[in-house]
Structure 1
């Protein structure tokens, strides 16, 4: 019975010691949890929320929360779980009681140990007497007074105070408390600020080398600073994460919209706006892409067959080719395109666009362009992401016209009076930019248009319709030549002339242009046909006129010589004056 009394007192001490340890552990866990949350807030608010936006912010918070959970778990293990798993035995509790009550002088631990061991030598009566003596000595003592409650009270007081302070702060700034809990849960939540950025220009793909405008909108009910800013970070390999600040100004005095322009986007960038105490939670990315452009050109020229000219090629966009040529344009681009259109301009009027045939999945395009007139051409390109070639290059089209051939009669090259039995050689020369193909001597008998005689006033289109012709045999031998000439005998005997008449004649030539050749004519000349007697009379008259002219010339020569001789004699007879 006495032993049961001692064991009961030992159990009371053990239970009280366990309860105190659990209370202390729970208070420590509460203090650690609140402290860790406070540490998370300070690190997150002062560092992470400002320097690691977007996915980097979430990752950093995740690492921090993981470290917090590990630390809290260690505190829970040390302060609670290990206490719950460890139960001190009777000897340990008895020794603790002995240390708290030194007057027991080992009676309690000795009694506990002797009664537990059944093999101990000695009288049972002696052990029972020791047990009775120990119970009597202990009497009404309560061993639980050895448990020190000071530390428990201190820790509990601190925990209670911290809980009340945290509750009061949470109630005062519930928005901050909600933000802390949300960010602990790794959500995309920002801390409350007096200024609130509600809208930002979304990151987009923009053309390289062109300006980009950043626009932010603030909540008009919050603070509206005079200026805002945006941190611009260079993402190019050579940029090394270099950052610059771009000033954002208000659109107007009372506006809640702020804008700023990056002069040139040369590489991929990202930006993060800030206004007063508000900071956008992430960086918005700007992807710089090249506008489509012509990287290389290949022009293949095919000329009209009648020119007998070999095909040519060029890498220059400006076109110079004879009219009727066809040029195959093959363009290579700096990036893939989904559309390529050819636009030509003739006589200052732009023609409707024509689609090119895309090749190599859109890295190039080709089209056949007939050269019909002077003008220009350009390509309009568009990519899958909607970019076009801004300000495309205008290339010149110089359509070289095939000029009409020319002809010239070099002999007799003047009007003549002849008889109907005359045979006159007519010498001529011709010229053309690509070569004369055919020629003929054309004439009209008894033409009434005397005003045209010898003036060359005929044109190709106004030639008399009743003109007759003689082919110029042998004018062209082999391929057409730019220059040709020859002689044709104009035999009037074959014309069956009777009586006086007039024959107007000229040379007509044509080139090899197809389907309609160009034609050219020489100046016209006239044979005036008269009877032989009339011609003889005319010749006699001309001879006499020539003789009279010669006589006149001789008389004038003699008069001139006589005058010179007289002047010479006068000079010789005049004495020279002495020098002064």
Structure 2
């Protein structure tokens, strides 16, 4: 057989046609696969991007869209490289195509493969018969008309891909026809990474957060501040605050949500949701919604939150909590007022930590030094004083602004200091720091003054002992005791001018109207450490020295004390004592008054003697009561009882009743005796106090005599040694013994014999007291008789004086009659 053989044209055309069909199959299969991937990715991306919007979510973020497009691009490249280019580049030899046809047409019996392979150009060395090859060739060519090339391909893969691509493509065409804008938005978002959102039924807008303004002033409440989110949708709020989130919904061009919900996630991992409440009505086309409860009330940690209303959503808003500045320490430095500071004092008199109830002296300069946990920006300061207008303080900061210094000058009233520190970003403390500073006011001195041994009337030559007690917080500067004659007495003194026998006063001796003002004299006694002072006002010496005008009987003087301290912040503190008004009398008139007081004391002594006599009688009756004690009847003898049982029982019952009544009567008698004993003790105590009072009053009489310089040794002996000293001796000895005996009687009431003995001793002691009191009373009666004689002598002297005055007047009349 020749070396070069040619294949039958029918067979060659069959193989060439089959080769073209294979390549077209590969192209369609690859194109359908690529279209399926693209369309599936489009619809999947559209669903992921749009369906969450319908459910209240947000669109697919750009990163996710980029990732989806990258996956689709990689898939298309892989499909094109492997399914299209890779398969198209593979060779399709005739024998492979013939073998593919032989598999689908077994009737050929291998003739086509044999003919193709043995007739391939350049084939040598085959050992076969040429005739046989020609015969096979002819049979293959004759059977080729029965060959169907379509049976070679599997159409199921193309059909499956077409079933995917067809509906997806049809849906895309319908989507494009119905809503070109939505299709274009979807294509731009998925392929061009456009951030234009999908249209929504509702439209929400973030307004911001209203934060209450913490003010140091409780009276004026500042409106809350509206804070807006920055470009990163972040806002910084103080920890512990209670802000209010505010949004608004478009009510004109969009559907109004019924409720808006906040979904939050704290940095601590807590998740939750809270519904916002609608506020008011639609205004300017918008409806407001606010959230003022959890998780914003008492904000404690940072969080991220989203707001959803219908299908609109506000995403990725963040609240960062910042610890507000806190005042960790407060120190108070005080510099006292100048009048309270001694020589050589330091600049700071008191430095202490602030504590509740801290009180500061009036007029001090106060400096408050506070330390903050963070650097301070601006601090709001309010000083609210208990009285007057609010004070102003001088506020300054340290270089690192971690300390603030508040200076208050001339501290004069209780003050509440309110501080609201804020950091550099304006984050302020959520409650004002309040410090209350009390004030220790410098009170005026307390002055108590009394006249020792002086009554309501004095002579013109008297000496007045004065005792004073002055108490002040920071010491007394001066105590002044003044004596001022009354204006009436001065006028009367000025009107008494020397007259000649004609009754005319010389011109140069007429009183001057400018000299009518009363002249006063004063003394400044020294005070000891306890504030006690004593002084003696000698009217005789002061009059002789010209410090006081001549004191005329019938006038009066006023004694008053004035005490002042070193207070110099405002009006000086001056305290005046009680005004002691003393009448100026003659020695005789003073003695007459003292004698009338002595008569009053005698009446008191007579009453005391009567009470002592009654006490003696009461004790005597008490002694008799102890002698008449009722003893219970003895129990009847058993042998005297009647043998009858009923009579015996009645007799026993009667005896028991009698015994019980006797015991009750005995108890009552003891109670009555004890009561009478206690009354006697009270009467004895009263008698002792009354006698001590009479002795003290007599002592005052003697002191008044001495101080008024009308005293005599005989009078002092008669009153002092004859009355006062015996009274005190009675109180010290027999009366004291009587009181103790009465106490002993009370203790021995239950023992009749012992009580009777002690009562008898008490009666004897009472008789002794009574006898001594009667003796003192007789002494006072003798003094009264002596005083009556003195009164007669005074009346004679007064009558003699009046007679002399009448004689002088008669002489003047006779001289005047000579000139008529």
Does the TM-score normalized on the shorter chain lie above 0.5?
yes
**SS state of the match for residue 230, structure 1?**
strand
1:171 pairs with 2:174:
no
What is the distance in 2 between the residues matched to 1:495 and 1:127? Answer: 187
Q: CA deviation at 1:484?
A: 1.1
The equivalent residue for 2:467 is 427
1:111 pairs with 2:124:
no
The equivalent residue for 1:566 is none
Q: Deviations over 1:455-513 (max 9, x none)?
A: xxxxxxxxx9976554434x25xxxx5x4113234455366436723765544333243
| Number of equivalenced pairs | 528
What pairs up with 1:99-138 in 2 under 5 angstroms?
A: 99=103, 103=108, 104-111=111-118, 115-116=121-122, 120-121=124-125, 138=141
Match of residue 206, structure 2, among 200, 218, 229: 200
Q: 1:445 to 1:179 in 2, by over 3 A?
A: same
Alignment RMSD (CA, Å) = 4.9
- Mapped contact 1:29–1:79 kept (Cα < 8 A): no
The equivalent residue for 2:292 is 262
What is the distance in 2 between the residues matched to 1:232 and 1:150? Answer: 53
- Mapped contact 1:22–1:83 kept (Cα < 8 A): no
Match of residue 397, structure 2, among 358, 367, 372: 358
What is the distance in 2 between the residues matched to 1:350 and 1:116? Answer: 125
- Mapped contact 2:478–2:565 kept (Cα < 8 A): no
Q: CA deviation at 1:86?
A: 3.4
What is the distance in 1 between the residues matched to 2:80 and 2:518? Answer: 123
- Mapped contact 1:294–1:333 kept (Cα < 8 A): yes
Q: Deviations over 1:348-399 (max 9, x none)?
A: 6663765632347555522122322244332244454445556746654433
**SS state of the match for residue 201, structure 1?**
strand
- Mapped contact 1:510–1:520 kept (Cα < 8 A): yes
Q: CA deviation at 1:432?
A: 0.9
The equivalent residue for 1:472 is 525
Match of residue 218, structure 1, among 245, 250, 256: 250
What is the distance in 2 between the residues matched to 1:244 and 1:441? Answer: 82
- Mapped contact 2:101–2:149 kept (Cα < 8 A): no
The equivalent residue for 2:44 is 39
What is the distance in 2 between the residues matched to 1:515 and 1:224? Answer: 70
1:500 pairs with 2:550:
yes
Q: Which moved more, 1:403-412 or 1:42-51?
A: 42-51
1:22 pairs with 2:27:
yes
What is the distance in 2 between the residues matched to 1:283 and 1:543? Answer: 106
What is the distance in 2 between the residues matched to 1:85 and 1:547? Answer: 157
Match of residue 186, structure 2, among 180, 186, 189: 180
Q: 1:441 to 1:132 in 2, by over 3 A?
A: same
Q: CA deviation at 1:401?
A: 1.6
What is the distance in 2 between the residues matched to 1:162 and 1:558? Answer: 139
Q: CA deviation at 1:21?
A: 0.6
What is the distance in 1 between the residues matched to 2:131 and 2:288? Answer: 95
Match of residue 318, structure 2, among 257, 264, 285: 285
Match of residue 75, structure 1, among 56, 76, 79: 79
Q: 1:28 to 1:528 in 2, by over 3 A?
A: same
Q: CA deviation at 1:430?
A: 0.9
What is the distance in 1 between the residues matched to 2:68 and 2:487? Answer: 115
1:486 pairs with 2:533:
yes
Point out where structure 2 has 5 or more consecutive residues left out of the alignment: 209-228, 230-234, 343-348, 491-516, 613-820
- Mapped contact 1:341–1:353 kept (Cα < 8 A): no
Q: 1:2 to 1:8 in 2, by over 3 A?
A: farther
Q: CA deviation at 1:323?
A: 1.0
What is the distance in 1 between the residues matched to 2:308 and 2:602? Answer: 116
- Mapped contact 2:276–2:290 kept (Cα < 8 A): yes
Q: 1:511 to 1:53 in 2, by over 3 A?
A: farther
The equivalent residue for 1:303 is 336
What is the distance in 1 between the residues matched to 2:137 and 2:52? Answer: 66
Q: 1:488 to 1:397 in 2, by over 3 A?
A: same
What is the distance in 2 between the residues matched to 1:329 and 1:231? Answer: 45
Match of residue 573, structure 2, among 488, 498, 518: 518
Q: CA deviation at 1:57?
A: 4.4
Q: 1:284 to 1:179 in 2, by over 3 A?
A: farther
What is the distance in 2 between the residues matched to 1:149 and 1:105? Answer: 21
What is the distance in 1 between the residues matched to 2:479 and 2:394? Answer: 48
- Mapped contact 1:418–1:527 kept (Cα < 8 A): no
Q: 1:241 to 1:427 in 2, by over 3 A?
A: closer
Q: Which moved more, 1:264-273 or 1:351-360?
A: 351-360
Larger helix proportion, structure 1 or 2?
2
Q: CA deviation at 1:402?
A: 0.3
Q: 1:507 to 1:350 in 2, by over 3 A?
A: closer
Q: CA deviation at 1:32?
A: 1.7
**SS state of the match for residue 252, structure 2?**
coil
Q: CA deviation at 1:205?
A: 4.6
- Mapped contact 2:369–2:404 kept (Cα < 8 A): yes
Q: 1:545 to 1:129 in 2, by over 3 A?
A: closer
| Higher radius of gyration, 1 or 2 | 2
Normalising by structure 2, what TM-score?
0.53
Q: CA deviation at 1:341?
A: 2.9
Point out which structure has higher relative CO (alpha carbons under 8 A, 6+ apart). Answer: 1
**SS state of the match for residue 36, structure 1?**
helix
The equivalent residue for 2:563 is 509
**SS state of the match for residue 475, structure 2?**
strand
